[in-house]
């Protein structure tokens, strides 16, 4: 019974027949059809053959099964009818709920976190990406082992004095997981050291960096391709992009700019994944400007915006950080709106401060976006790579006091810093140096 999540994850195979059960709380602001479509998209992203997807109103989540008993019966019937090997529950499940649902439906059950981890596991292409995903997966498993262990203890009377073979097995599994996680952390450190060098070499060039962020499928890669002339994968597929890609773009009045495309966000992005991808997302933290790409034609566009902002907050980007990179909202997919909605969105965007409406597909608004990016880069704070002699305590103190120091490293007799400074502060620093 222990270690079941890994074994089970291994049995999630492409082409397997699946059904989806979506538990809906009464207070959800999201559109049911859109949520079902998203869950279907997530399941399809790992090649599952989704035969049916249904929402169930859950007023009071049951500790044992999440769904009410009548609903569990309906889910079991749905699975039987389609001969499904897999039931996807679009929510987080405790290990106990998962096991009970597996018993009741006679199918494998995977929850939203497990599903997203599977997708990332399949997509990760770089060494770093793969290690990050594996770390997240192990973290997820370890959490489930701990919880099911506590649960066993409770069943035994809360004192654990009836420790049996199951418990020993779980202990052994946990040790294995811990060892493996430690090994991956060391490997990751190695990979990052190499990447860190690359990054230092790249950022030493005095070019601004613009990072694309947004909900998965919002159109980041499509916009990236349009702005750079590149041909990265842009598809109607959730999490099409996993590893960051960078290209140069030309903007009016700006020499050269680096544009970076990154992994998309999703609601309830597993915290293990956010933690594991923190290093990759640091590209976003050190950007001069963030473009938040939104699918403005999506019924849950507002909820998606909130999700993206909350992930950004998790990696330390938010309104409370005074000197943070400014965020420009790009309202994408204008072409998908009918004439009336199109006009309304344009008017709304014109009233808003930091919004540029576009269609990455048709090209509408893209020239205005280029100008808006250039304008902000020329006027706003920029990240500078500055080298000062190690003995120059005055300059170091000045930079820490006036700028936002993102990175600092000793290189022989010198200190190199990555510092965000406004144009004003930058000229003051140059004047005093």
Ligand X SMILES: Nc1nc2c(ncn2[C@@H]2O[C@H](COP(=O)(O)OP(=O)(O)OP(=O)(O)O)[C@@H](O)[C@H]2O)c(=O)[nH]1
Q: What are phi and psi of 258, to 5 degrees?
A: -100, 125
- Closer to Mg ion by Cβ: residue 232 or 405: 232
Q: How far is the CB of 367 from ligand X (least distance, A)?
A: 15
214 vs 403 by CB, closer to ligand X: 214
For residue 320, the minimal CB distance to Mg ion (Å) is 28
Q: How many Å apart are CA 385 and CA 200, to the nearest integer? A: 9
| Helix (H/G/I), strand (E/B), else coil: 94 | coil
Residue 95 or 270: the one with the smaller Cβ distance to ligand X is 270
- Among Mg ion, ligand X, none, residue 218 binds (CB under 5-8 Å by kind): ligand X
218 binds Mg ion (CB under 5 A): no
CB 187 within 8 Å of CB 131: yes
Q: Which residue from 233, 294, 268 is spatially nearest to 114, judged by alpha carbons?
A: 268
- Angle among Cα 329, 265, 185 to the nearest 5 degrees reads 130
Minimum CB distance to Mg ion smaller for 241 or for 359: 241
Q: List residues near ligand X by CB under 6 A.
A: 214, 216-222, 234-241, 264, 332-333, 335-336, 359-361
The only residue of 100, 113, 141, 241 in contact with Mg ion, by rule CB under 5 A: 241
Residue 220 C-beta: closest distance to Mg ion, Å: 5
Minimum separation from the CB atom of position 333 to ligand X (A): 4
Specify which residues 265 forms β-bridges with: 215
Q: Which of 5, 99, 221, 225 binds Mg ion (CB under 5 A)?
A: 221
- Nearest residue (CB) to ligand X, 342 versus 420: 342
219 binds, among Mg ion, ligand X, none (CB under 5 to 8 A by kind): ligand X
Say how many Å lie between the first and final Cα of the chain, rounded. 66
Which ranges of 157-277 would DSSP assign to H, the alpha helix?
Answer: 165-203, 220-228, 271-276
Q: Looking at beta carbons only, is 208 or 357 nearer to ligand X?
A: 357
Residue among 28, 78, 90 nearest 51 (CA): 78
Which residue reads 């997302």 in tokens?
A: 281
Gap between the Cα atoms of 87 and 75, Å rounded: 8
In the complex, least distance from residue 231 CB atom to ligand X, rounded to whole angstroms: 12
The nearest distance, CB 50 to Mg ion, in angstroms, is 22
| Residues near Mg ion, by CB under 5 A | 220-221, 240-241
């Amino acid at each position: 019974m222990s270690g079941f999540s890994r074994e089970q994850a291994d049995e999630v195979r492409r082409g397997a027949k699946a059904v989806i059960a979506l538990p809906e709380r009464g207070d959800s602001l999201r559109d049911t059809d859109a949520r079902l479509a998203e869950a279907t998209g997530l399941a399809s992203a790992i090649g599952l053959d989704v035969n049916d997807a249904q929402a169930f109103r859950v007023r009071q989540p049951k500790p044992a099964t999440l769904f009410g008993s009548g609903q569990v019966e309906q889910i079991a019937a749905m699975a039987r009818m389609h001969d499904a090997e897999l039931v996807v529950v679009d929510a987080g499940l405790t290990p106990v709920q998962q096991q009970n649902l597996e018993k009741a439906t006679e199918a494998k059950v995977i929850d939203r976190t497990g599903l997203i981890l599977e997708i990332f596991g399949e997509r990760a292409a770089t060494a770093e990406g793969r290690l990050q995903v594996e770390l997240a997966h192990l973290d997820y498993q370890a959490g489930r082992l701990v919880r099911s262990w506590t649960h066993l203890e409770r069943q035994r009377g809360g004192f654990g004095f009836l420790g049996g073979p199951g418990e020993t097995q779980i202990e052994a599994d946990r040790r294995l997981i811990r060892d493996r996680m430690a090994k991956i952390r060391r490997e990751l450190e190695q990979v990052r050291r190499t990447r860190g060098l690359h990054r230092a070499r790249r950022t030493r060039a005095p070019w601004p960096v613009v990072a694309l962020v947004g909900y998965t499928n919002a159109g980041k890669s499509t916009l990236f391709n349009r702005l750079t002339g590149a041909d990265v994968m842009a598809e109607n597929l959730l999490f099409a992009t996993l590893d960051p890609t960078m290209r140069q773009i030309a903007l009016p009045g700006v020499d050269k700019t680096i544009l970076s495309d990154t992994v998309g966000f999703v609601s309830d992005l597993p915290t293990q994944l956010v933690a594991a991808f923190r290093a990759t997302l640091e590209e976003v933290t050190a950007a001069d400007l963030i473009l938040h790409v939104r699918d403005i034609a999506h019924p849950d566009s507002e909820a998606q915006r909130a999700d993206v902002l909350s992930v950004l907050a998790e990696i330390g980007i938010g309104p409370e950080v005074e000197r943070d990179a400014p965020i420009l909202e790009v309202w994408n997919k204008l072409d998908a709106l009918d004439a009336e909605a199109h006009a309304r969105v344009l008017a709304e965007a014109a009233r808003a401060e930091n919004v540029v409406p576009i269609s990455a597909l048709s090209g509408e608004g893209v020239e205005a976006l280029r100008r808006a990016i250039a304008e902000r880069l020329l006027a706003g704070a920029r990240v500078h790579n500055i080298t000062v002699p190690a003995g120059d305590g005055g300059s170091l103190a000045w930079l820490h006091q006036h700028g936002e120091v993102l990175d600092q490293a000793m290189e022989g007799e010198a200190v190199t810093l990555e510092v965000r400074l406004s144009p004003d502060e930058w000229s003051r620093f140059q004047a005093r140096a």
